[in-house]
Structure 1
């Protein structure tokens, strides 16, 4: 077996610079074990190797294994071209135009196989447009990226040093060109190359930086941290449909609260949810609005407990403050009922938000139902209240209502009532709804509740979360 170089690499400031010899960490000196790698990923790695190609596990899978975490997925990098990968696997399909990939499917599991990428070259000396084979860059932004190269070139094309670690199936070593092992041990998230150049290539890397830092508990490298506020405006040029997917990744990672706080700290959140950021910048009756933070804390707990979460609930939370504030203004100016005001406010806020993050109807319709059920949850008398519990969106709307109570609205009594009525038998439910008394079945409780500062059990105002 070939003896690998064990020299320690120096950090290189640019992916186009000549890389130093990689650090090769032999199997005995790292914690990546085949026992913790998906059997499907191993099949792909072994078959590529047997066909004469170099095959490595790369990216988040290697990073997480080295950190002792369970990887979410396993990605493979190889010198085989996508068409060659497809010839090796009948269960393979090629996807992507901007970035050609092979997906090898084993039941529900998909192993993503990418060909080693090479740097771009300037076309005719024009700094604003580059082309090399099947690559195209305009104004520093990668438009198409199918230039194939070596593992060394591929390493320097990756975004963060900790994602540029390769587990080589040939000898089970970890190959490190960019100093990722040192950054992994130090808890530092460092971009490979000039942060401004890398962020201009793909502005979503700023969101990835915050997501990884929040998820891993890492700190941003100072150069990356300083570049983000200067480059944050580039997010306005990213397709709204792509930002929809990125927002789900940001807040459904199990570390959504930390990510949310980092997004605001680094001036990124306002480019995703501008109306929400504007609403969160205000205080009401002397205390900060904590609804989003409380909801993310609850969502994180559900994810960490292995429970399901719904993107519609997340987006309903994110846009509630703008919807609520606009509905209040519509009620004051037009004397509209609260439900009608909520409907009009929801339509307007969603239209504005979709200019930044595209929200498909399969998400926006449940969002609106959650919002519009809030006034109905304040009506706790008669058959109508009992029927409400059969609504398919009742549980989400109830959770939403109780989060509002937790975050400062005077809804504790209603939250407790709805909690209890779900726990008792049918006879007690009818009693609670006033249906076993003469004249029972009437309405009630439809007034708009005013927000107030929450109280601690000792009677003093609660500290903002």
Structure 2
């Protein structure tokens, strides 16, 4: 049976028709052994105080597919204020979604009150005229809460009193069949929160799920709605998408569903115009390396990640500026600034990452230099190692960098005095006199704005 046909024999689940199915303990693999002890503590205390309390969402979904969740979210009929009264280590956060955070050292457990879709006037909800939810603090029942969640796979509840899984939307079967399916009308749900399109791609990549046909269909048309999302939120979504070990599949998903031009517009344009495909090969090779580092529990810098993701855009901008007659060094700086500023309108890349990203780019042209002072100066640069790794990555796009990579790999292993002697013994590059670059006559050109 095809994944898309897997639910033909199931009940007619819909937001207007939530149907409770209780999956008993002997029919699922969720075990308390795999749940955070602190999460169990919160669940039991809420239950003992007379409230309903369930492990919910991604933790249940991931446990069902044999994963190891990092976060354990809890849903309850207790209000945030009631949760706070039960836990001294609790703080209330959020305006758009008011939540309780119960803090156990470095572990923070998110406790959310059941929310409803329909506001009877007693709650706190604000909707943008385009359908996007700005604030949603209307409390309801567990049935209400289930049908307002985004995907059926995220609307599963683990009950601590009998260790069952409770399903109101058909999510249990969708998890078994590895399908990402939106609850409700897909276009309406995407308009409520455009970031759901990215979440669909990210979760499908992470879990090796297919996005169900009706859920996928509106994405290419609605992709421009991402412009309405907060740039800071898109930055966080990018980190989840590319630094969680499934960057390659996430990128392929962005391409497949037409989201790349909305998220990384100048990169998408550069990849489209690069007929050889060299830039795309390099980008995918870099993302494979990122996934491998995550798998090895090695750190990955967001600066390096965005240097990779925006490199095609930088190359395209640089070529355009140089074609307009701008000097190479000035063109490099202008291209780096231009790409960064343009991308900031979509993704809020903090300066602590954008500045190192630009340094990685600007150091690339210095790897062709062999003069002693410049070699030692580059080796001492705080961004040298990241820039060298980036140069090595460029071999995936073109073998022309092989000589530079070999040279700089070798000099890193040389003692300082040996390297100095080796560099002094090199013949002077053509066009240089006494080790100093020959002064070039300034080329007259128009104002810088003419090359913009």
With structure 1 as the length reference, what TM-score do the two structures score?
A: 0.86
Aligned residues of 2:150 and 2:196 also touching (Cα < 8 A): yes
Distance 1:154 1:442, change over 3 A: farther
Answer yes or no: is 1:270 the counterpart of 2:261: yes
In the alignment, the residues of structure 2 paired with residue 39 and residue 388 of structure 1 have an alpha-carbon distance, to the nearest angstrom, of 50
Other-structure match for 2:444: none
Instruction: Judge conservation of contact 1:280–1:288 (CA < 8 Å) in 2.
Output: yes
Out of 414, 424, 427, the position equivalent to 2:404 is 414
Whether 1:301 and 2:299 are equivalent positions in the alignment is no
Q: C-alpha separation between the residues in 1 aligned to 2:436 and 2:250?
A: 42
1:282–1:289 contact (8 Å) kept in structure 2 = no
- For 1:355-434, what aligned pairs fall within 5 Å after superposition? 355-408=345-398, 410-432=400-422, 434=423
Contact map agreement 1:302 1:309 (CA 8 A) in 2: yes
Select which of 34, 37, 45 maps to 1:36.
34
Could you tell me which runs of 5 or more consecutive residues in structure 2 were left unpaired when the two chains were aligned. 1-8, 438-452
* Corresponding position of 2:75: 77
Q: Which moved more, 1:282-291 or 1:259-268?
A: 282-291
Distance, in Å, in 1 between the alignment partners of 2:354 and 2:338 is: 12
Indicate conservation of the 8 Å contact 1:282/1:288, yes or no: no
Which residue of structure 1 lines up, in the alignment, with residue 193 of structure 2?
202
Cα shift at 1:286: 7.5
| Aligned length in residues | 424
Question: Does structure 2 conserve the Cα–Cα contact (< 8 Å) formed by 1:59 and 1:166?
Answer: yes
Deviation of 1:391 (Å): 2.1
Task: Give me the whole-angstrom Cα distance separating, in 1, the residues matched to 2:372 and 2:177.
Answer: 61
In structure 1, the residue matched to 2:13 is 12
Aligned match of 2:274: 283
TM-score by length of 2: 0.89
Residue 314, structure 1, aligned to residue 305, structure 2: yes
The one of 181, 203, 223 aligned to 1:232:
223
Shift in CA distance, 390/38, structure 1 to aligned 2, threshold 3 Å: farther
- How far, CA to CA, are the matches of 2:401 and 2:141 in structure 1? 61
2:37 counterpart of 1:47: no
Bigger helix share: 2
Would the alpha carbon gap of residues 438 and 378 (structure 1) be closer, same or farther in structure 2, given more than 3 Å must change? closer
Quote how far apart the aligned CAs of 1:437 are.
6.6
Aligned to 2:91: 93
CA deviation map 1:443-464 (0-9, x unaligned): 89xxxxxxxxxxxxxxxxxxxx
Corresponding residue number in structure 1 for 2:174: 183
Distance in 1, Cα, partners of 2:350 & 2:363: 20
- Aligned CA distance change for structure 1 residues 442 and 285 (closer, same or farther; 3 Å): farther
Match of 1:62, SS?
A: helix
Does 1:156 pair with 2:155?
no
Gaps of 5+ in 1: 1-7, 123-130, 445-465
Give the C-alpha shift of residue 100 in structure 1: 0.4
Counterparts of 2:435 and 2:112 in 1: how far apart (Å)? 64
Equivalent-residue separation in structure 2 for 1:437 and 1:367 (angstroms): 32
- Report if the CA contact (8 A) 2:231-2:348 is conserved: yes
Deviations 1:311-354 (A, max 9, x none): 11111112112212222232232240x33211111111111111
